[in-house]
Structure 1
Amino acid sequence: MGEYLPRIADQLLKKALQASGAVLIEGPKWCGKTRTASQAAKSVLFMQDPDKQASHLQAASIKPSLLLEGDSPRLLDEWQIAPILWDAVRFTVDQRDKTGQFILTGSAVPADNMTSHTGTGRISRLRMRTMSLYESKDSNGTISILDLFENPNDLSGINPVSIEKLATLIARGGWPASIGSDPEIAERRVQDYVDAVIHQDISRVDNVEKSPDKVRALMRSIARNLSTEASLTTLKKDMEGSDESISAPTVSSYMNALSRIFVVEDLPAWNPSLRSKTPLRTSPKRHFTDPSIAIAVMGISAKRLLKDFNTFGYMFESLCIRDLRVYADALGGNLYHFRDKTGLESDAVLVLRDGRWAAVEVKMGANEFDLAAENLLKFANRIDTDKMGNPSFLMILSATEFAYKREDGVYVVPLGCLKP
């Protein structure tokens, strides 16, 4: 096992353990949940250990409290293999009446009927994602989002990530095991991940057998519609255009399963108060949890991406959304997108718990900056600032070389310069 690269989730986990009796870390397989949880744990139970799984399951069925014995915080890895552990943890937390007792990790959201109690007030949830460019040390972190919220002044920075490198980073993804790997091996790993999702993971999540061909066709359709508000009907029609007939309920159930194993994560729409009565679009934008999944399922490579800048643009936007989500988590905020019926939009809106907000447009090249800045200013002007407050900042997230503040007040920040 290689060197552990510190994660933003490390500090989030530390705070959660101080506040709750137990913490559930959820996120996609291979995103580093177990390794991160192990850094904080004093004892560990690996439910997937093939040498011990049978005895663990037997203990869980007879006396689950036996599996909870060990120094705290005790890590219960892939706890959903024995769902009774959830209620056992909740009960034990009540009995001990102390914080920081257990860490649970899981790569799938269990069915609602698997746990008899939600765990509210006892088990807090922490969403873990694949690594951002700052965590993988590909971003130099010269521009801090927190600084932009707290003290937005002139800024400067130089992007260390070339366009060629950017294509490689998108294809590699933020999977911890691939950081520092040969690019071809990293791409192969994501293909293996996609194959596992299609042939095993998606059926295991609810024990309903699914057609691998239909799953692959759906994932390809999502990839083709990445960073758009494509409806389930649109995805269904797109699949049928690829000679894969599928019913609307099946599309819906497959999407739900992909969401439960953290393969897809749509970006919800922001619903602010506006100055005018312009109706808002409420559809989410389609995204995989990591853009490398789209690359793998489409069967393209980093080199191919450099020859198709239209596709590159959508993939870059998805990469930006992944990183912004990780950084929003670090700041205790949430990420949305905005679009109204006139077509006015913002690719990302970062909203903090105290109500402060910032709008972001994603543009790879400088030739689009003027239009993007004009769009951001128009968007900010449409918000009812008496109710929502003024934006803390407006930013164009780019793949260009320099970070700076434009004369109109809009910031241009390369993704390779950004950190929380």
Structure 2
Amino acid sequence: MTYTPRAIDTHLIEMLNGLPAVSIEGPKAVGKTKTAARLAQTTIRLDRGDEAELLALDPDRLHRDPTPILIDEWQLMPQSWDLVRRAVDDGAGAGAFLLTGSATPRATIHSGAGRIVRIRMRPMSFAERQIESPTVSFAGLLRDGPAEVGGRTEVAPGDYAEEIVRSGFPGIRTRQGTHHRDALDSYLARIVEHDFSELGHVVRRPRALEAWLTAYAAATGTTATYETILDAATQGISDKPTRPTTVAYRDTLERLWILDEVPAWVGSRNRLASLTQVSKHFLADPALAARLLGVGAGALIDKPQPGKIVARDGTLLGALFEHLVALSVRVHAEVERARVLHLRTKGGEHEVDLIVERDDGKVLAIEVKLNRLPNDKDVKHLRWLKEKLGDDLLDAVVMTTGPLAYRRPQDGIAVVPLALLGP
């Protein structure tokens, strides 16, 4: 299988040039092993045969084997984390170790702070899928001064709907027809039937967990309370899961990197009054949400006439398109060492879908709209934020499904089709 370049490739090489140990973390099948193996001289796969036992019997091999040494699926042998940490303490040089993990084990381990640096790998961004040649740089939008914005794309709303359900997991997105659907179903079933137990969480009522996951998918892009999600998952059921049970669901799904919520922004430099601190709900991949809800591209987009595309369920398509944008922005932000958050006032008067914050507190604000050509109403919250933050707002962007990237002449707000956003 040909390797598709990932956004973190260059970033990972840069990290290994100066750090002794880097841990790549993310959900299963996201591509961690393939990305890391390209850089490794030695690979220890703890999900194969007796590799864990051999490492336990001969831990000194971490001082002898050619580096970088990749320890794949380290969570299957939690003590391997401590072996690497000790090797770093003993003087391991830059680029000595790569670890990949698709879960955070319950076993007590040292945090690795100062020894092992973590990096998050997510499913493929839109740019990584190589559907279009990007013309707008995300890194440029995060720099001081207005970034150059321009370009044209033929990618249409129907194409975005197809990519929402296609998935950013490399091994799943290449499958066709019923095989693609079966691969997604198998991925979700494995979470319930295998991955929970691998972390020591026995699921006594699998259907209740499946229902909760489906209700969570329906809350994509919202700040719905967990009580609301639970009520939606258990309508008509008298014997509902207890609150501690659903808290345990969330904890385990987070440790499996299946939940990928966007935290609330509270303003580190220009603290605004009355901001909510509730996270916005997203799964690891919008295709998982779409599959849980039983929708394909045809359920999101209607084509009544040749060349005419209409959102069949605008609310759901909008939420899943925002999910796709959030995924793409977070992939690029990880490389730029920036945080991705969202803004919402407690009364709901103002909302900004995504706030990308640099380490100096300055921010890039992003609104997500299905409109191909956003109007004044679509940018009102960005204008409000610009008035509040002044020079601390690096740029304001509306991500769309439209054909053109440009700046609005009346306020300078950038309009960028998702297909044209690149690193």
**Residue 411 of structure 2 corresponds to residue 405 of structure 1:** no
Name 1:414's counterpart in structure 2: 417
Distance 1:61 1:126 in 2: 26
Name 1:70's counterpart in structure 2: 65
Name 1:21's counterpart in structure 2: 20
Name 1:345's counterpart in structure 2: 351
**Residue 272 of structure 2 corresponds to residue 282 of structure 1:** no
Per the alignment, do residues 208 and 196 of structure 1 end up closer, same or farther by CA in structure 2, a change over 3 Å counting?
same
Aligned 8 A contact 2:172 2:184 in 1: no
Per the alignment, do residues 397 and 184 of structure 1 end up closer, same or farther by CA in structure 2, a change over 3 Å counting?
farther
Aligned 8 A contact 1:20 1:121 in 2: no
Which of 368, 371, 381 is equivalent to 1:362?
368
Aligned 8 A contact 2:192 2:203 in 1: no
Q: Which digits, 9 at most, give the CA deviation of each residue in 1:173-220, with x for residues without a partner? A: 111124444355333322221111122112322343342111111111
Describe the SS at the equivalent of 1:138: coil
Distance 1:57 1:409 in 2: 57
Shift of 1:99: 1.5
TM-score by length of 2: 0.91
Describe the SS at the equivalent of 2:392: coil
Q: Which digits, 9 at most, give the CA deviation of each residue in 1:79-138, with x for residues without a partner? A: 121111111111122223312111111100122x431x2211111111111111111102
Distance 1:74 1:58 in 2: 17
Name 1:205's counterpart in structure 2: 199
Q: Which structure shows the higher helix fraction?
A: 1
Describe the SS at the equivalent of 1:303: helix
Describe the SS at the equivalent of 1:338: strand
Describe the SS at the equivalent of 2:128: coil
Distance 1:370 1:130 in 2: 33
Quick one: which amino acid aligns to residue 190 of structure 1?
L
Distance 1:356 1:187 in 2: 42
**Residue 142 of structure 2 corresponds to residue 141 of structure 1:** no
Name 1:395's counterpart in structure 2: 397
Aligned 8 A contact 1:68 1:89 in 2: no
Aligned 8 A contact 2:262 2:279 in 1: yes
Shift of 1:292: 0.5
Name 2:176's counterpart in structure 1: 182
**Residue 345 of structure 2 corresponds to residue 335 of structure 1:** no
Per the alignment, do residues 274 and 33 of structure 1 end up closer, same or farther by CA in structure 2, a change over 3 Å counting?
closer
Aligned 8 A contact 1:22 1:100 in 2: yes
Per the alignment, do residues 246 and 179 of structure 1 end up closer, same or farther by CA in structure 2, a change over 3 Å counting?
closer
TM-score by length of 1: 0.92
Quick one: which amino acid aligns to residue 345 of structure 1?
E
Distance 1:3 1:320 in 2: 26
Aligned 8 A contact 1:172 1:183 in 2: no
Distance 1:416 1:277 in 2: 32
Per the alignment, do residues 335 and 198 of structure 1 end up closer, same or farther by CA in structure 2, a change over 3 Å counting?
same
Name 2:79's counterpart in structure 1: 84
Describe the SS at the equivalent of 1:393: strand
Per the alignment, do residues 207 and 57 of structure 1 end up closer, same or farther by CA in structure 2, a change over 3 Å counting?
farther
Percent identity between the aligned chains?
A: 31
Per the alignment, do residues 153 and 331 of structure 1 end up closer, same or farther by CA in structure 2, a change over 3 Å counting?
closer
Shift of 1:274: 8.6
Name 2:291's counterpart in structure 1: 296
Higher alpha-carbon deviation: 286-295 or 2-11: 2-11
Describe the SS at the equivalent of 2:393: coil
Aligned 8 A contact 1:227 1:314 in 2: yes
Name 2:386's counterpart in structure 1: 380
Name 1:229's counterpart in structure 2: 223
Distance 2:268 2:87 in 1: 44
Name 1:194's counterpart in structure 2: 188
Aligned 8 A contact 1:351 1:358 in 2: yes
Aligned 8 A contact 2:104 2:256 in 1: yes
Which of 313, 322, 329 is equivalent to 2:318?
313
Describe the SS at the equivalent of 2:397: strand
Quick one: which amino acid aligns to residue 220 of structure 1?
T
Quick one: which amino acid aligns to residue 124 of structure 2?
M
Aligned 8 A contact 1:226 1:318 in 2: yes
Which of 117, 137, 149 is equivalent to 1:155?
149
Distance 1:154 1:223 in 2: 36
Unaligned runs of 5+ in 1: none
Aligned 8 A contact 1:337 1:346 in 2: yes
Aligned 8 A contact 2:373 2:402 in 1: no
Shift of 1:8: 1.1
Distance 1:275 1:336 in 2: 15
Name 2:100's counterpart in structure 1: 105
* Residues 162-173 of structure 1 aligned to structure 2 (within 5 Å): 162-173=156-167
Distance 1:165 1:210 in 2: 40
**Residue 248 of structure 2 corresponds to residue 249 of structure 1:** no
Quick one: which amino acid aligns to residue 24 of structure 1?
S
